[in-house]
Amino acid sequence: MRGSMAGSPDMAAPRPGPPLWLLAELTYRCPLHCVFCSNPVDYARHDAELDTGQWLDVLAQARAMGAVQLGLSGGEPLLRDDLEVIVEHAHRLGFYVNLITSGIGLTEARAKALKQAGLDHVQLSFQDSTRELNDFLSCTRTFELKSRVASIIKAQGFPMVLNCVMHRHNLPHVGRIIEMAEAMDAQYLELANTQYYGWAWVNREALMPTAHELIQAEEEVNRHRARLDGRMKILWVSPDVVEARPKACMNGWGAVFMLVAPDGVALPCHSARMLPGLDAPSVRDFSLREIWHDSRAFNAYRGDAWMSDTCRSCDDKGHDFGGCRCQAYLFTGSAAATDPACRKSPHRGAVDAMLERAPQARAASEQPLRFVPNAARQAGLVYRG
């Protein structure tokens, strides 16, 4: 049995509503090997995936609890042969179903089958607007293929979000990324500045932009927003470490979001798996209802009893819910510490030191990127941007 039900809820905290947003990470397997991959750094250790029947049961339980939004992600969810079965089941249950994909494996026939199964929406990732950098960062030759997949998605009439993770290497291309999304007729473009967890944390020194680069990029985004006049929505996700304001991570721990990992471990956020002592429960051992309401993992950072005095007495705690527990852990070694993105944190100096190192680490050769392991695919891909 994995995880514990010995939860100790903050008795003053209101009982949480349902997990409105369920993210089903169907597999950690992926044809890409991105330098900022959100898979756990040790993902290869967790390779026992839930089978089709177990996923269908998870979806039915979540829907019975009131979940309405379903994200199917990974890794690459298209690597699951049963994706169409899972989509059809989710659609019948009444979920709004979003496929979050690199696009690799989305043929015309498969897109048609997913449409028939009831898929509502597709989020397609790009790494850059140039083949050279896209392929280098993903460690695969996939740029042209992704471009073809974008037209397949549009041909099936799916609403399409293009997503691009931003960092020092592609921020200077932000205008061209917007023009690429426009040419592909995307409804939305999400320019998500790198969140430093998992592989992005491993590669943080090589990915971190300077504050000046971020300001310049945001100004360019605003110029394009004015030009596009609402024809394509552009979401610019600012890095909280630069803004010195903690983000309302997951809209609060265990408030609206639940993630089920490929092996069935249920988590309150994408990165919580790494937190020591979290004792995350598995859907193989407990019902989703037990996990959501009674598990130690989901109750750990609800309410404010866990907060430092700095956070508990802060006027912003109702907006940022204490910030991000995973960021606090990575910078300070304690998941309960004040989020070091916050200027009130006694650990803010560690964030500032990382930002100050960014200008010195400009040359890629000074800070080589570490790829998600797969040396064979890495061979021959060099970026000299």
- Size of residue set near ligand FES by CB under 6 A: 10
37 is in an annotated binding site: yes
Integer Cα distance of 176 and 132 in angstroms: 14
The answer to whether the beta carbons of residues 9 and 302 sit under 8 Å apart is yes
The string of DSSP codes covering 216-274 is HHHHHHHHHHHHHTTSSEEEEE--HHHHTS---GGGSTTTSEEEE-TTSBEESSSSGGG
Contact status: 259 vs ligand FES (CB under 6 A): no
The string of DSSP codes covering 171-194 is GGGHHHHHHHHHHTT-SEEEEEEP
Q: How far is CA 227 from CA 21, 69, 231, 234, 375, in A?
A: 33, 32, 9, 12, 43
DSSP 3-state assignment of 67? coil
The residue from 86, 180, 249, 369 that contacts ligand FES (CB under 6 A) is: 249
**Residue (33 or 270) nearer to ligand FES, CB:** 270
The residue from 272, 280, 311, 314 that contacts ligand FES (CB under 6 A) is: 272
The residue from 39, 194, 210, 271 that contacts ligand FES (CB under 6 A) is: 271
Contact status: 337 vs ligand FES (CB under 6 A): no
The residue from 153, 288, 324, 369 that contacts ligand FES (CB under 6 A) is: 324
Contact status: 59 vs ligand FES (CB under 6 A): no
Contact status: 37 vs ligand FES (CB under 6 A): no
Stretch that binds ligand FES, among 121-129, 145-153, 231-239, 324-332 (CB under 6 A): 324-332
341 CB contacts (<8 Å, ≥6 apart)?
A: 240, 241, 243, 244, 245, 246, 247, 323, 324, 327, 348, 351
**Residue (133 or 274) nearer to ligand FES, CB:** 274
Q: Which of residues 195-214 bind ligand FES (CB under 6 A)?
A: 197
Q: Please report where in the chains the tokens 């592609």 appear, as a residue.
A: 170
Shortest distance (Å) from residue 274 CB to ligand FES: 9
Contact status: 273 vs ligand FES (CB under 6 A): no
Contact status: 278 vs ligand FES (CB under 6 A): no
Query: Kind and range of the H or E element at 9?
Result: none
Contact status: 255 vs ligand FES (CB under 6 A): no
269 is in an annotated binding site: no
The residue from 111, 152, 202, 269 that contacts ligand FES (CB under 6 A) is: 269
Contact status: 26 vs ligand FES (CB under 6 A): no
327 CB contacts (<8 Å, ≥6 apart)?
A: 196, 197, 240, 241, 249, 339, 340, 341
**Residue (35 or 250) nearer to ligand FES, CB:** 250
Residues contributing to the site for ligand FES (CB under 6 A): 197, 249-250, 269-272, 324-326
Binding site residue list: 30, 34, 37
